[in-house]
Structure 1
Amino acid sequence: MSRSDKVDFRAVGWRSVEWTNLCTLYLRACDSRSPHSVLGDRAAADVVDRIDYDWDRIRRTIRPGVNQWLVALRAARLDSWSADFLGRHPDAVVLHLGCGMDTRAFRLRPPPEVRWFDIDQPHVIDLRRRLYDDDRDGYRMIGTSVTDPGWTAEIPADRPTLIIAEGLLMYLREAEVRTLLQQLTDRFPGGELLFDTVAPIGARLSKVFTKGIIAWGIRDPRRLQQWNPRLHFLESDSSLADAGRIPSRPLRVVVRCLRATPIGRYDMLNRFSF
């Protein structure tokens, strides 16, 4: 649940991690204001209205257009998988890793018995706490690196567990990804893991264009079963798979054409059980 006061974010550095989170929030808000919204994230739009920031500059920089639909399509598919799990396990624990400014905990309206944990770096959680209440039953924010081995001890391990990692794993090194997955499956008795991955070329291109910020990519996510025998592949699809939901016909055509190229396999959405 969001707060109601105006929040000054003008000190957030341009192109910082926090800025990136604000960009994604802004794109989801743009989608929600469309007459044919894909995600319907009114919580994101409400929060953007409360933040004092140079949104005009962000709009000129990231050019919402097709970007807002791509962000919304990815989030909507993960929301659908999440809602399916919560429908089957209304008493679940949910771990949203690398949550940023995402409003998934509010837009999904989980059952009251669900224990939801939004987890991100301490400085990101500090910003979240200025936007969202952290005092309602069943919801908590934790400021920590997901690679810190101690944070899982704070999470109940006696319920079905849903783990969501959107826009996270590609920024970790392969060894960190392996360790994190092992840590999660060792701690929690069973559930599902939802995450996206990029192709290996993402890390190679990142060394040239973005100072190596993308550290890990994988061609076939099913290989994770070889790393960790508790992980069982359920399904995988391109983040562009639901392009038919884009309301603009020209953009639908463009995105469908992209999906028919190797670009369509660059960013994959994955669902595993454990």
Structure 2
Amino acid sequence: MKPGKVDFTAIPDDGVTWTLLGTLYLRAYESHLPRPILGDHYAVGAVERIEYDFDKLKRRVKPSANQFLVALRAVQLDDWSRAFLEREPEAVVVHLGCGLDSRMLRLDPRGARRWFDVDRPHVIDLRRQIYPEQGDYTMIGTSVTDEGWLADLPADRPALIVAEGLFPYLAETEIRRLLRRLTDHFPSGELLFDGVAPWMVRVSKPFVWSTRDGQDIERMNPRLTLAEQVPITAHRDRIPTRGYRACYGFLNTIPAMRNSSVDYRFTF
């Protein structure tokens, strides 16, 4: 972590990288609500330090509506993470495709756990300028699909593996291999991620992979057992704005919309 402004324009534009800044901005935007769902004040601090045309980004990500999609997804994964870490205090945490997410600070601000955030080298270089690498917290600059990085992680304790906003951007063969390496490396644990429905891949160009339900993953890796799958709309009552709360309630009545974005929890 270094003081002063951080230049985001130095990050290579691969057509997907901007989404990590968009997600960060939406979490920061949502935190300013009188009764936020996630309330990620760490995201606010990060946005304040990044040198970027946020007015242009605001027009692209439409925060008034999309802030709730991001916040509801994140808070469900945070809730599951806290519950697992309470049951397994010695567990290793592996956050795949961490981007600029502050989950480590939200759940383990003192760096007391063995926590590994993994993302591409240029993303990790940016993270190191924004977030402190302290205690037992470690950032790893590599593609999650590379094979070598897992060798340096402890293999003698349970693992909490979080992949938020990642799997839809990977090919199925990459996900299959990654899941096999993870379940082979760790003796037990939980896998938390969000997935999108097949129709979302057809209408959204960056998306590559979709899942109809958790059984797709169980067929992909027999060691993984579906524990819960929760549509984003399931927590619509947490939305503090009446109009958007009603909108999400309406979407929840339409199966295709209800299942468009789902959070999954698997055990192994």
TM-score greater than 0.5 by the shorter chain:
yes
Give 1:53 shift.
1.2
Question: In the alignment, what sits opposite 1:246?
Answer: 239
Alpha carbons of structure 1 residues 112 and 105: separation in structure 2 relative to 1, 3 Å: closer
Of 57-66 and 90-99, more deviation after overlay is shown by 57-66
Identity %: 51
Query: In structure 2, what residue type is equivalent to 1:237?
Result: V
1:89-104 matches, within 5 Å, as: 89-104=88-103
Question: In the alignment, what sits opposite 1:266?
Answer: 260
Q: Tell me, what secondary structure is at the counterpart of 1:241? A: helix
1:130-145 matches, within 5 Å, as: 130-134=129-133, 136-145=134-143
Instruction: Answer yes or no: is 1:217 the counterpart of 2:227.
Output: no
Of 57-66 and 115-124, more deviation after overlay is shown by 57-66
1:11-90 matches, within 5 Å, as: 11-12=10-11, 16-90=15-89
Instruction: Answer yes or no: is 1:122 the counterpart of 2:115.
Output: no
Structure 2 residues without counterparts, runs of 5 or longer: none
Q: When the two structures are superposed, what TM-score results if normalisation uses the length of structure 1?
A: 0.92
CA contact (8 A) 2:30 2:67 kept: yes
Alpha carbons of structure 1 residues 14 and 59: separation in structure 2 relative to 1, 3 Å: farther
| Whole-angstrom distance in 2 between the partners of 1:154 and 1:116 | 12
Q: Tell me, what secondary structure is at the counterpart of 2:100? A: coil
Give 1:227 shift.
2.4
CA contact (8 A) 2:28 2:43 kept: yes
Alpha carbons of structure 1 residues 10 and 113: separation in structure 2 relative to 1, 3 Å: closer
Give 1:147 shift.
1.0
Structure 1 residues without counterparts, runs of 5 or longer: none
| Whole-angstrom distance in 1 between the partners of 2:14 and 2:111 | 37
Find the partner of 1:170 among 168, 171, 188. 168
| Whole-angstrom distance in 2 between the partners of 1:260 and 1:145 | 38
Instruction: Answer yes or no: is 1:156 the counterpart of 2:150.
Output: no
Query: In structure 2, what residue type is equivalent to 1:241?
Result: A
| Whole-angstrom distance in 1 between the partners of 2:9 and 2:175 | 33
Q: Tell me, what secondary structure is at the counterpart of 2:249? A: helix
Give 1:91 shift.
1.6
Q: Tell me, what secondary structure is at the counterpart of 2:17? A: helix
How many positions carry a matched residue from both structures? 267
Q: Tell me, what secondary structure is at the counterpart of 1:140? A: strand
Q: Tell me, what secondary structure is at the counterpart of 2:25? A: helix
Alpha carbons of structure 1 residues 195 and 254: separation in structure 2 relative to 1, 3 Å: same
Q: When the two structures are superposed, what TM-score results if normalisation uses the length of structure 2?
A: 0.94
Residues 137-169 of structure 1: CA deviation (Å, up to 9, x unaligned): 110110111111111101111111000011111
